[in-house]
Chain A
């Protein structure tokens, strides 16, 4: 299954919170919504945390694009 995107997760989260706040769900649905919401918050937080710092620059070698680390010289 394709990994759910951060944007989609936040969108879904917003919908779940709206539904819970509207009070229109019965117990089963509230529980399910709450569980899903908790999962989504965990997922988003995981995505934020697993991001990795990397700065690269593209170079062309024999017409092929390759990337290598890039650092900005401080003046």
Chain B
């Protein structure tokens, strides 16, 4: 086919200009309703570019700086708007577009509206309620991750978990995180993890993107799968500002995948510091309670009743000492009498066998000492027995009730209270005072430390 002679042949620019002219005439002033997406404001020129769309079609739009400066609200993707302007061709690209002269918001955009509607529905059903939130374990051994195996999110999660605690078992269940069918895949992956019985926590999420990109996490099927999971779930979708249905229904929302890695496990150092702190607190507390017990023992051992046995002995010893003194005084007297007589006899029989007489007296003197010694021993023995009777009576008395809490006091062979293992050695015999009597024990083993 060839052009008929004389027919005008257009250049591209000419035909573009003609089309532009027709469009401008036909659509010089139109109202167009649609949802905003791909909104961008060019920083240098100040002009704004966006796309208006509905379910089936889209229309490029430009808003020059002088128009944009007059817009009162913040233009964002997803907003439903009503625009007034003219339609023309952007000739370098042969693309028709609307030149916006006025823009008004129209309630919520369709996606936003869908989000609000589902959120209200699930909230009413109670899916976001605190009472259903499961506790995230402090130290999960096995962490399941539902995300794309190729995105930035999986790298962020794995590298950040490993930075905090390197020896952790991670399992990735790879899914598509955007596009048709992605919500179903995410929901299925959560269900699959629930067939395992050793996964401690799940991270479900993806990196940042447009509202459309993140949409799977706003779908009901994902929300239900999260709610029905027996394993606690951390939702980690997009950036800080993005709030999705999955965030509301999950047991914990992490603002980003990186943040999820930070909340899912503490650092190894933190764990160790925690344990060391417990250990320190316990040692201090135990030392305190031992100190208190020692104070109690000291108080008991200084009390009259527990001091008495020794005091009584001392008292008797003193009496004995006095008796000995008086005895020896009279014995001295007796001796001096004897000596006098001896002297007399000696004088008398000086010439006759004086050695024999002297020996005889010496022997008698020795016998007297023996008798004296024996009588002292007997005296001590009798008094000692009295003492034992008095003491055992005393021990039956009320102050011993303090021993009923389970304490015992142990004494060494010198009746001294044993306070330390250092006072003892193997095979020592000790006596222990318990609430209902006393026992004698032989030390078999000494452990100088209180340990497990």
- Interface of A toward B, CB cutoff 8 Å: 5-7, 10, 13-14, 16-17, 20-21, 23, 25-28, 30-31, 34-35, 37-39, 41, 44-45, 47-48, 51-58, 65, 67, 70, 72
Contacts and interface: CB of A to CB of B under 8 A. Distances in A.
Given A25-B289, A47-B139, A17 B278 contact: yes
Nearest to A55: B170
B28 interface: no
Given A21-B281, A67-B171, A27 B406 contact: yes
A54 B293 contact: no
Contacts of B285: 17, 20-21, 23
B158 interface: yes
Q: Which of A27, A31, A65 has the most CB of B within 10 A?
A: A27
28 contacts: A7-B135, A13-B278, A17-B282, A17-B285, A20-B289, A21-B288, A23-B289, A26-B406, A27-B405, A28-B406, A30-B290, A38-B279, A38-B451, A48-B271, A51-B169, A52-B167, A53-B167, A53-B168, A55-B169, A56-B171, A58-B172, A58-B173, A58-B174, A58-B192, A65-B195, A70-B172, A72-B154, A72-B155
Contact of B169 (A39, A52, A72): A52
A54 B167 CA distance: 7
B158 A55 contact: yes
A30 B283 CA distance: 11
Place the interface of chain B in its size category: 35 or more
B292 to A, nearest CB: 7
A19 B307 CA distance: 34
Contacts of B292: 23
B410 to A, nearest CB: 14
Interface string B369-406: 00000000000000000000000000000000000011
A57 B173 CA distance: 6
A57 B139 CA distance: 21
A30 B292 CA distance: 12
Which 5 residue pairs across A and B have the least CB separation, nearest first?
A20-B285, A51-B167, A6-B139, A54-B169, A21-B285
Interface of B: 135, 137-139, 141, 149, 154-155, 158-159, 162, 165-174, 192, 195, 268, 271-272, 274-275, 278-279, 281-282, 285-286, 288-290, 292-293, 405-407, 450-452
A35 B271 CA distance: 21
Given A20-B282, A53-B168, A72-B158, A6 B137 contact: yes
A31 B287 CA distance: 11
A47 B162 CA distance: 17
A74 to B, nearest CB: 9
B150 to A, nearest CB: 9
A27 B141 CA distance: 37
Contacts of B450: 31, 34
A34 B405 contact: no
A53 B162 CA distance: 9
B392 to A, nearest CB: 26
A54 B274 CA distance: 25
Contacts of B192: 58, 65
Contacts of A13: 278
Nearest to B265: A51
A37 B278 contact: yes
Nearest to A5: B137
B176 to A, nearest CB: 14
Given A17-B285, A51-B165, A41 B174 contact: no
Contacts of B135: 7
Nearest to B452: A38
Contacts of B171: 55-58, 67
Contacts of B278: 13-14, 17, 37, 41
A4 B168 CA distance: 19
A52 B268 CA distance: 13
Nearest to A19: B285
Contacts of A70: 149, 172
Nearest to B166: A53
Given A17-B282, A20-B285, A57-B172, A44 B154 contact: no
A72 B271 CA distance: 27
B272 A48 contact: yes
B168 A51 contact: yes
Nearest to A37: B282
Nearest to A21: B285
A26 B405 contact: yes
Contacts of A39: 452
Contact of B279 (A25, A30, A41, A51): A41
A27 B293 contact: yes
Given A28-B406, A47-B139, 17 more contacts: A10-B274, A21-B285, A23-B285, A27-B405, A35-B452, A37-B282, A38-B279, A38-B451, A38-B452, A39-B452, A41-B275, A41-B279, A41-B282, A48-B275, A53-B162, A56-B170, A56-B171
